[in-house]
Structure 1
Amino acid sequence: MMSKEVLMTPDGLKKIEEELDHLKSVRRREIAEKIKAALAFGDISENAEYDEAKNEQAELEKRIMKLEGIVGNAVLIDESEIKKDEVSVGSTVTVKDIEFDEVMEYAIVGPTEADPYENKISNESPVGKALIGKRVGETIEVQVPDGFAKFQIVKIGR
């Protein structure tokens, strides 16, 4: 079980709790029904449906344990304490990619909530680490998979 504190926004914690509730109340029942149906086929020693359902059950229980660990160790980011003049976990940062002259907005979140498809980057990622503690107008240079990137901080919000 996890013992490390998990930094989370209230929205991120809510999302995890909703998934956990769904897994416990809906998915457990669905998998139990699959197991019950597979047992009706008879001999479980050569029953692929039974084996598949039991494996699915094991994966589900592993995911439930992980989510319970996250919820149990969650430390909520108090949005009222997020600085507006300095990047911190919980900040929304608008940066300009100097090389490509593109403007992007990122939410700095804990690793559990990171989702590049939603522009949520972890405070432990290379870009997230480089942004923490910086102010509007500052430029960072950070190593990315295809070399180095330079970003200028344009705006910091909550």
Structure 2
Amino acid sequence: MQDILKSLTEQIRVLEYELTTELPAEIKKAVALGDLSENAEYHMAKQRQEFVNARLGQLKKRMGELALVNLDNLPTDKVGFGSTVVVYEEAKDQEITYKLVMSEEADVAKGLISTTSPIGRALLGKEVGDEVTIVIPTGKRIMEIKKLYTIHETVPEDLAL
């Protein structure tokens, strides 16, 4: 989680610099070119300024949300954020390992799924032995939870993602 906070802080720093230093200089330069009604540079700089403002708002909101997360409150016997889960999917006749992460860290190819994804939401709160039906755009997937390692436990090296 510290990596996410560090990344968000860096993104905020870069965007704030752009908003307070680079964009005002671009706008000033564009204004000097004259007639603002047909000044593409001016309009592009203003649009970029609006985008940067909106993105900064999103990032700061996410920082506030993350500040409220208390890892001590996460369950020790059920799937939650940070859990590594081994599921058996009968249709594919294979075991798959997932780690539930925040959306910023998600990488399905590596088995890192967001807690807000369809699979992540379906697994949250479940225990070993539970069968989970996941509705995805291509249909339904049924999985049985075989192993669970919460954020409070050490994951065996062969399952670490």
Please state which band the TM-score falls in when normalised by the shorter chain.
0.7 to 0.9
- The yes-or-no answer on 1:13 pairing with 2:22 is no
Q: What does 1:4-153 align with in structure 2 at a 5 Å threshold?
A: 9-26=1-18, 28-74=20-66, 75-78=68-71, 82-109=74-101, 113=104, 115-117=106-108, 119-122=112-115, 124-153=116-145
Task: Indicate if the aligned counterparts of 2:105 and 2:114 stay in contact, CA closer than 8 A.
Answer: yes
SS in 2 for 1:76: coil
Residues 68 and 98 from structure 1, CA distance in 2 versus in 1: closer, same or farther, beyond 3 angstroms? same
- CA–CA separation in structure 2 for the residues paired with 1:116 and 1:141: 21
- Bigger share in strand: 1
- CA–CA separation in structure 1 for the residues paired with 2:107 and 2:37: 44
Task: Indicate if the aligned counterparts of 2:113 and 2:120 stay in contact, CA closer than 8 A.
Answer: no
- Per-residue Cα deviation, 1:43-99 (whole angstroms, up to 9, x for no partner): 212101110110000110111122222223431241x55445321123222323321
What amino acid is the match of 1:115? A
- Per-residue Cα deviation, 1:92-132 (whole angstroms, up to 9, x for no partner): 2232332123443333245x54735462322x443223212
Task: Indicate if the aligned counterparts of 1:113 and 1:120 stay in contact, CA closer than 8 A.
Answer: no
- Gaps of at least 5 residues in structure 1 are 1-8
- Gaps of at least 5 residues in structure 2 are 152-161
- CA–CA separation in structure 2 for the residues paired with 1:98 and 1:14: 40
What amino acid is the match of 1:139? E
How far 1:27 moved relative to its partner? 5.6
Task: Indicate if the aligned counterparts of 1:84 and 1:156 stay in contact, CA closer than 8 A.
Answer: no
Seq. identity, %: 33
Q: CA RMSD in A?
A: 2.7
Higher relative contact order (CA 8 A, sep 6+): 1
Tell me the number of residue pairs that the alignment of Structure 1 and Structure 2 aligns.
147
Task: Indicate if the aligned counterparts of 2:113 and 2:119 stay in contact, CA closer than 8 A.
Answer: no
